[in-house]
């Protein structure tokens, strides 16, 4: 990308692919990570993390899995559009449990149970993380609940973390899976970046990408970034990337509000930037 050399960067600072090297522990994200770590340490069966599109659920999931030590065995299922048997096949593959192509749900569940018991005897703990759970069929969610019936007298053999958009809560309210809802003991709702977090977020990602100069986004640009993105990290990244391109095109050394305004106007998901006269203090009449 042409602007890398112009701004002294090693790599793109505002990509939208989840990359744990760029993980930023904002207030809500750190609270979510703490919730996950405390919950699995306590051996809870079900944990739920929800958040709007672009708030960093997948990145949080990867950071969480990367934080767990060698005494943990992890399974990750990114594709929610599975029937109950498909889910069990995917989990068996993740755990290395024997599973024949023609195995039915009963035999898959038994194979997974034996593997989990073997791991427990080896003093290993197991956590399953499932992404985009709002798209998971009801009958598959019920199959997930059955997995947590696998336990010893002391603890669950499998802990499950569900990541999903807010629609997941509506799905879990279905009376047919009310037993699953009752088993969720820890939960957290991811929020976007607060206005006072944007500067630190930008500085963090720029530093990881190799930037070592002075502040690259002026104060007005940061305010407009937060306003236009509504604090959603993915949108902050999209707008910041476009703004850097525009600043480079202008030969500018700093990104200004005008660059962000033009970036927002070219981004359908962004909020329309307020005009300058809407920024007047409340109670002061317009002229």
CATH 3.40.50.300 residue ranges of the chain are 27-190
From the number of C-beta atoms within 10 Å of its C-beta (0-12, 13-18, 19+), residue 196 rates as exposed
pLDDT tens per residue across span 151-209: 776 788 999 999 999 999 999 998 988 888 888 999 999 999 999 999 999 999 999 99
pLDDT number for residue 140: 92
Is residue 282 scored above 60 in pLDDT? no
CATH of domain 3-15+193-278: 1.10.8.60
**H helix intervals, the chain:** 3-7, 27-41, 57-67, 84-95, 105-121, 138-147, 167-172, 178-183, 198-208, 219-229, 233-250, 257-265
CA–CA gap between residue 23 and residue 59 (Å, rounded): 7
Q: How far apart are CA 136 and CA 151, in angstroms?
A: 24
CA atoms within 13 Å, Cβ hemisphere of 98: 5
SS3 content of the chain, % helix, strand, coil (to 5): 50, 10, 35
Exposure letters 65-89 (e unless 16+ CB within 10 A, then b): beeeeeeebbbebeebebebeebbb
Handedness of CA 76, 82, 87, 90 (dihedral sign): negative
pLDDT value for 242 = 97
Residues forming CATH 1.10.8.60 domain(s) in the chain: 3-15+193-278
pTM of this structure: 0.89
**pLDDT attached to residue 102:** 76
Question: What class, spelled out in words, does domain 27-190 have in CATH?
Answer: alpha beta
pLDDT tens digits, 37-95: 999 998 878 999 999 999 999 999 999 999 999 999 999 999 878 999 999 999 999 99
Q: How far apart are CA 96 and CA 73, in angstroms?
A: 11
């Amino acid at each position: 990308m042409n602007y890398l050399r112009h701004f002294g960067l090693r790599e793109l600072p505002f990509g939208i692919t989840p990359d744990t090297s760029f993980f930023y522990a904002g207030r809500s994200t750190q609270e979510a990570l703490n919730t996950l770590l405390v919950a699995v340490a306590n051996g809870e069966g079900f944990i739920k993390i929800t958040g709007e599109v672009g708030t960093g659920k997948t990145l949080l999931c990867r950071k969480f899995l990367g934080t767990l030590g060698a005494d943990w065995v992890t399974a990750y299922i990114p594709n929610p559009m599975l029937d109950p048997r498909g889910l069990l096949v995917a989990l068996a593959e993740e755990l290395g449990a024997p599973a024949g192509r023609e195995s039915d749900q009963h035999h898959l569940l038994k194979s997974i149970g034996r593997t989990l018991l073997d791991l427990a005897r080896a003093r290993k703990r197991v956590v399953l993380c499932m992404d985009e759970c709002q798209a998971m069929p009801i009958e598959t969610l019920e199959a997930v609940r059955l997995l947590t019936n696998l336990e010893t007298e002391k603890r669950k053999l499998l802990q499950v973390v569900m990541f999903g958009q807010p629609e997941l809560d509506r799905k879990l309210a279905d009376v047919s899976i009310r037993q699953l809802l009752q088993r969720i003991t820890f939960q957290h709702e991811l929020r976007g970046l607060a206005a006072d977090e944007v500067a630190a977020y930008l500085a963090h990602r720029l530093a990881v990408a190799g930037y070592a100069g002075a502040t690259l986004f002026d104060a007005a640009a940061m305010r407009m970034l937060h306003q236009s993105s509504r604090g959603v990290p993915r949108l902050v990244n999209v707008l910041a990337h476009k703004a850097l391109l525009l600043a480079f095109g202008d030969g500018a050394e700093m990104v200004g509000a005008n660059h962000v305004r033009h970036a927002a106007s070219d981004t359908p998901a962004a909020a329309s930037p307020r005009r300058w006269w809407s920024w007047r203090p409340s109670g002061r009449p317009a002229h």
